[in-house]
Structure 1
Amino acid sequence: MSRPVLLLEAAGPESGHLARTAAASGHPVHAVTTTEDLTGYSPALHNLLAGTLTTDLANPQQALADTVAYARRINAAAVLTTNEYLTPLAAHTCALLDLPGNDPTTAHAAHDKDAMTTAFRAAGVTAPRTHTLATPAALRTRFLRPGMRLPVVIKPADAAGSQGVTVLASLQDADTAWQHAHTAPGMYAATGGRTVLLQQYIPGREYSVESFTQHSRTTHLAITTKTTTRGTHRAELAHTLPTQLPPALEQAIHQETAKAVRAVGIRNGASHTEVIVTPTGRPYVIETAARIGAGHIGELLHHALGINPWIALLDIALGRPARLTPARHHHATVRFLTSPAAGRLTSVTGLPRPGPDTPLVRLRARLGDPVGPAHTNAGRLGSLIVVSPDARTTAARAAQLLDDIRIEVEPHPA
């Protein structure tokens, strides 16, 4: 049997794919977690694991010491994670074990957006102007500076999944926006509150770039078109890839993405870079993460391009050449289900059956659950993936399926 693989937190769809891939390849799979009862681990995933380490993942020094000791004890051949909060821990662990990983000296910049801003500026990445806000009052005084105008983005420095993000259009809402970011929920959150950032609002079309890096050489697999809600809070409603753009624009996006990946020290592993292209065709990097894209983006890569991203992640972590050449040229999209109103979920009908062109149909919410309009990615009720040989057919089929789905909600009493 091959040497063990150690996953830093195995809960979640992406980690589940990675765990199953490693086990199918003959590697015993171990997990580092922060809860003894393995909350969030399905029975199948629980049974797949050869062992677990429980440590305090909110304490970086303790978690690093415990993880390194455990990895040495099981003679781990690879340490990796799909959890954005744990990418710095993965980088430091790999460095101490002399395993393929990212630069530990800059790894925090792939999660902490305040440090990311500094790294982007030093590397010449085209990115929004960003400032730290110590208090709500500081948010107002920022508008006295030349060139700063509404709307702006208020966000926590170290959250993910759109948690705590506000597109601020009125100074009357400044205190609420600051507090929303300061108290945003997240994994392993510090009790003292989160650092709050003010970021220049960039109007334009939203994309993400899905890339893999090995030995500091980056391959961009696809550009993903992102569809989000509008208004004060933004949640992602759809991902579609690969996106066909004019060659000059695609090259410009790839150039800025490559600079961002280098700036935060990604040397071995996946990256997910969010980009906005302005109406004049200028790409701005909003942020980059040292992980594979969430929201089923890994599955879209697999279905559209024939690339197995989970095998690629495992190969990179084991120091083997990753296979990143597309085996097919299809199009894939994921559409997320959202609630039409706040209340209690009473019925979901019209869901399609999984099939060749709909390989995933997933309802994560349960009847009776409290639901509401999606203000963050956590507010989505479910998802479905559609695949076909061309972009137009994929979009039409997804629209038809969504039109057939009925979501019924019993409103909250007035």
Structure 2
Amino acid sequence: MTTRVLLLEAGGPESGAIVQTAVRSGYRVHAATTSAIHATYDAELKALLSGCLLTDFDRPDQTLRDIVAYVRNQDINAVFTTNEYLTELLAHVCADLGLPGNDPALAAAARDKAAMYRAFTAAGVTTPYSRLVSSEDELRALCAAGAIAFPCVIKPVDGAGSAGVTVLTNLAQVPAAWRAAHAPHGMYGTPCDANVLVQDYVAGTEYSIESMTRHGITTHLCITEKAVTRGAYRVETGHSLPAALPPVAEQNVHHEVEKAIAAVGIRNGASHTEVIVGTDGRCTVIEIGARIGAGQIGFLIQHALGIDPWAACLDTAMGRAADLTPTSNGYATVRFLTSPRRGRIAAMTGLPERGPRVPIVRLRAETGQVVYGAQRNATRLGSFVVVGPNRDTVSPYADHLLAQIRIEVEPVEPTDSHATQGV
């Protein structure tokens, strides 16, 4: 009997890896997407798909009906997504179809930052104090009165990938932070929430925890250390795994993450939890996503630990036990390329070549394209992955390779019609 799976959005490296894994396993893969994004699928991806449902993700009720009908008509066995914006929809699809999934009553809390804060607080998760602010005037007044202390973090309620997030250090930054939080940042044209979330700033080292949950039982695959820019915008410039923490700190991290996973109703599937660990080992949960980690994290897991995260996602979506046992004891890191400023790319030189130590080199921009400085993850220009036996051999080599890359950017007029922030 042929296994059929439906992927909510097949574009992107993580979705592409799952499509390829599924096809190699003999599955027939279908995708649900919008007509506009389907037009960007390359010929290789389209050739791997057995069918495609074109729908409008900005109309969730109708999309839910469309997907449920498609699954039944095509006799599909599993539905899943790697897309941050579609995890709530996925929970409702699985619930309607009786497929393994997450709690639909709590799924919004893995997307909506205000709902997430309420769910974390109710479950006793250690998380930054947060408050919802409805206008720029209110934000300015609260800051001026000292009701909001500096530094603090301003973020969209419904954002992802660091889009619209600002670390606010003084009152003069309020207008720019408010504009950034309301700039378009979604994938599917859905309106931005008018409110913003203001969180206490937490000092420490940033990590993410990559986990897989089946029937409410969670296995932590690894801890990922993050390299992040400083200043007003905190863009991730690198991920490295597996990160080693002192045993007590690691225990604290896993305990808080397990509470967070339960708080947002993750019962079946991957999760990516961002935390900050202080110098005292205290773990503060910042956010959680009901999906596998993006930014090459799945590929790092595959190369460093020998775990196939794509097969694990497929197995979990079909209600089967996934093989999460590491078969390798290596180390992997990714370095992201960013532009030094806004402008048009004149040249990019010194990029590493693919090989055993550098298995992945990806570019998202090309000469002549207008790009932006490091303001959010989507403005990164590309990446490369370095693998090896341990941190001491991998990280210095990755830094050496990064230092060889030269990105030359020419100035452009602010009204340049070819400018785009989606690179």
Query: Could you state the TM-score of these two structures normalised by the residue count of structure 1?
Result: 0.97
Q: Does the CA-based 8 Å contact 2:123-2:260 persist in structure 1?
A: yes
Q: Does the CA-based 8 Å contact 1:212-1:269 persist in structure 2?
A: yes
Q: Does 1:303 align with 2:303?
A: yes
Q: Deviations over 1:291-347 (max 9, x none)?
A: 000000000000000000000000001111100011011000000011123221121
Instruction: Indicate the SS of the match to 1:347.
Output: strand
Q: Distance in 2 between matches of 1:50 and 1:72?
A: 15
Instruction: Indicate the SS of the match to 1:26.
Output: coil
Aligned-residue offset at 1:406: 1.7
Q: Which residue of 2 aligns with 1:313?
A: 313
- Greater Cα shift, 36-45 or 320-329: 36-45
Spell out the pairing of 1:84-99 with structure 2 (5 A cutoff): 84-99=84-99
Q: Which residue of 1 aligns with 2:151?
A: 151
Aligned-residue offset at 1:192: 5.9
Change (3 A) 1:213 1:378: same
- State percent identity of aligned pairs: 54
Q: Deviations over 1:270-310 (max 9, x none)?
A: 00000011233211000000000000000000000000000
Q: Which residue of 1 aligns with 2:267?
A: 267
Spell out the pairing of 1:124-203 with structure 2 (5 A cutoff): 124-143=124-143, 148-191=148-191, 193-203=193-203
- Greater Cα shift, 163-172 or 34-43: 34-43
Q: Which residue of 1 aligns with 2:358?
A: 358
Change (3 A) 1:179 1:342: closer
Ranges in structure 1 where 5+ consecutive residues have no aligned partner: none
Which amino acid is 2:296 matched to? H
Q: Which residue of 1 aligns with 2:325?
A: 325
Q: Distance in 1 between matches of 2:119 and 2:145?
A: 23
Spell out the pairing of 1:395-414 with structure 2 (5 A cutoff): 395-412=395-412
Q: Distance in 2 between matches of 1:166 and 1:99?
A: 39
Q: Which residue of 1 aligns with 2:349?
A: 349
Q: Which residue of 1 aligns with 2:210?
A: 210
Q: Does the CA-based 8 Å contact 1:181-1:194 persist in structure 2?
A: no
Q: Distance in 2 between matches of 1:151 and 1:202?
A: 9
Q: Distance in 2 between matches of 1:37 and 1:153?
A: 32
Q: Does the CA-based 8 Å contact 1:208-1:224 persist in structure 2?
A: yes
Q: Distance in 1 between matches of 2:36 and 2:184?
A: 25
Q: Which residue of 1 aligns with 2:293?
A: 293
Q: Deviations over 1:120-164 (max 9, x none)?
A: 001000000111111112213334777741011110011101111
Which amino acid is 1:130 matched to? S
Change (3 A) 1:144 1:349: closer
Q: Deviations over 1:238-295 (max 9, x none)?
A: 0000001100000000100000000000000000000011233211000000000000
Q: Does the CA-based 8 Å contact 2:143-2:171 persist in structure 1?
A: no
Change (3 A) 1:391 1:192: closer
Which amino acid is 2:87 matched to? T
Q: Does the CA-based 8 Å contact 2:208-2:272 persist in structure 1?
A: yes
Q: Does the CA-based 8 Å contact 2:120-2:127 persist in structure 1?
A: yes
Instruction: Indicate the SS of the match to 1:62.
Output: helix
Instruction: Indicate the SS of the match to 1:356.
Output: coil
Change (3 A) 1:193 1:265: closer
Instruction: Indicate the SS of the match to 1:188.
Output: coil
Q: Does the CA-based 8 Å contact 1:330-1:388 persist in structure 2?
A: yes
Instruction: Indicate the SS of the match to 1:50.
Output: strand
Which amino acid is 2:266 matched to? I
Change (3 A) 1:352 1:37: closer
Q: Which residue of 2 aligns with 1:23?
A: 23
Q: Does the CA-based 8 Å contact 1:158-1:194 persist in structure 2?
A: no
Which amino acid is 1:355 matched to? G
Instruction: Indicate the SS of the match to 1:72.
Output: helix
Aligned-residue offset at 1:179: 2.5
Instruction: Indicate the SS of the match to 1:358.
Output: coil
Q: Distance in 2 between matches of 1:270 and 1:105?
A: 18
Q: Does the CA-based 8 Å contact 2:224-2:240 persist in structure 1?
A: yes
Aligned-residue offset at 1:399: 1.1
Change (3 A) 1:255 1:37: closer
Q: Deviations over 1:69-119 (max 9, x none)?
A: 001111110000000110011111111111111111101110111110110
Q: Distance in 2 between matches of 1:280 and 1:236?
A: 24
Q: Distance in 2 between matches of 1:305 and 1:37?
A: 33
Aligned-residue offset at 1:384: 0.4
Instruction: Indicate the SS of the match to 2:38.
Output: coil
- Greater Cα shift, 392-401 or 28-37: 28-37
Q: Distance in 1 between matches of 2:80 and 2:301?
A: 20
- Greater Cα shift, 73-82 or 41-50: 41-50
Q: Which residue of 2 aligns with 1:112?
A: 112
Aligned-residue offset at 1:393: 0.6
Q: Does the CA-based 8 Å contact 1:156-1:184 persist in structure 2?
A: no
Change (3 A) 1:13 1:192: closer
Change (3 A) 1:281 1:146: farther
Spell out the pairing of 1:196-275 with structure 2 (5 A cutoff): 196-275=196-275
Q: Distance in 2 between matches of 1:109 and 1:160?
A: 13
Q: Distance in 2 between matches of 1:403 and 1:266?
A: 40
Q: Which residue of 1 aligns with 2:417?
A: none
Q: Does the CA-based 8 Å contact 1:183-1:194 persist in structure 2?
A: no
Which amino acid is 1:99 matched to? L
Matched residues, number = 414
Instruction: Indicate the SS of the match to 2:303.
Output: helix
Change (3 A) 1:218 1:37: closer
Aligned-residue offset at 1:408: 1.7
Q: Distance in 2 between matches of 1:37 and 1:298?
A: 23
Q: Which residue of 1 aligns with 2:72?
A: 72
